[in-house]
Structure formats: C-alpha cells, structure tokens
Amino acid sequence: MKITENTVVGLTYELKVSKDADEIESAPFSVEIRDSEDPFYFLFGASDLPPKFEELLAGKSQGEEFSFVLPMADAYGEVDEDLIVNLPKTQFSDENGFTGEMLKEGNFLPLMDENGYPMQAKILKDLGEEILLDFNHPLVGFDLHFEGNIEEVREATKDELAHGHVHGVHGEHDE
C-alpha cells in the first residue's frame, strides 16, 4: 500500500537540524531518533506536520527508505518574536502543579491553552519575579534533515478518521 490521504504511516528516522545564519551554515546535528522500538505514527493528511514533509512522503510504500531536507521556510519557519513573552513566576506555583526544579532555564514547561489542548513553552531566562518564555515550536528556525524508513502503511479506521489521529498501540488510544 502506498502513502495517500487517510492512511496511517509508521516511520523510523533520524532527524538532524542545521541553521543557515549569516551565510555560515552549521553542520547538521542529531536531535531525535525514532527506531523500531519506538516508531513515529501519524494520520497522513490530518497531522500537524509541515505540509512539505507529507508531500515528500506521498506515494512511498512500506519498506522504502527516505532522505530529504526541509528548509526552514518549509518546516516551522522563522522565530515569531510575538511568541516570546515575560510572565510572572507566580503563575507557575506549586498550587498550579509546577515545582522550582521545572522553572530552570532551558526547560520546557508543559502547559494547556485556553481550550485545554497541551502545549509547551521553553524557559529562556529567569528574570527574578518573571520568566521569559518562548512559545515557538522547538524546531522553528532550523532546516530539518530526515533520513529513515517507512515501517508501515495501512488504511485508517473509521474511528481514526473521525478523531483525526492514530489509535491503538502506536497511537493515542488503546483499542
């Protein structure tokens, strides 16, 4: 079966990132490996992945290897300065489920948006009474280098299509 709209896709891959800053390109460095013990599954056509990522996988079949680079513009784009904000430390109290250990520079805080959906913010700096948080996607500002294998391609179930995500062992819910 080939990867098409409404198929469930399982991948193993290594993701490397690089930056092209001021005409000096950095060497790609590894940031994530998904192996056969922990493949990445998604519903093709209904994911939050960059459209170019899905476009480059479209039509491939189980067992095929892939290797491509998503330039920053086709990945998560450039840093949005409006998503970097100062917030009072008091919002991140023990009563709200946060510990002092969680509030260290470089950590990602698990948060919820106003609709109850999970999100995260990276702590850029402790400013005393406030903390500087970055709500940009962690891969914003990078070129993404993918190398991997298509482990599985199958038709999505009616429930998966209705819910917009993969269910079962490799998804969000156990069936």
Q: Report the CATH number at residue 113.
A: 2.40.10.330
Domain count, the chain: 2
Q: Are residues 15 and 47 in the same domain?
A: yes
CA distances to 4, 37, 172 from 153, in Å: 9, 17, 17
Full 3-state SS string of 106-140:
CCEEEEECCCCCEEEEEEEEECCCEEEEECCCCCC
Domain-embedded: residue 171: no
Q: Is 172 within a domain?
A: no
Question: Are the C-beta atoms of 96 and 88 separated by less than 8 Å?
Answer: no
Write down the pTM of the prediction.
0.81
* Containing structural domain, residue 108: 81-134
What pLDDT sits at residue 175?
40
The CB density around residue 131, as the number of other CB atoms within 10 Å, is 22
Largest Cα–Cα distance in the chain?
Answer: 56
Residues in the chain with pLDDT values less than 70? 21-25, 169-175
Residue 20 lies in a domain: yes
Q: Is 143 exposed, middle or buried (0-12, 13-18, 19+ CB in 10 A)?
A: buried
Give the model's pLDDT for residue 13. Answer: 97
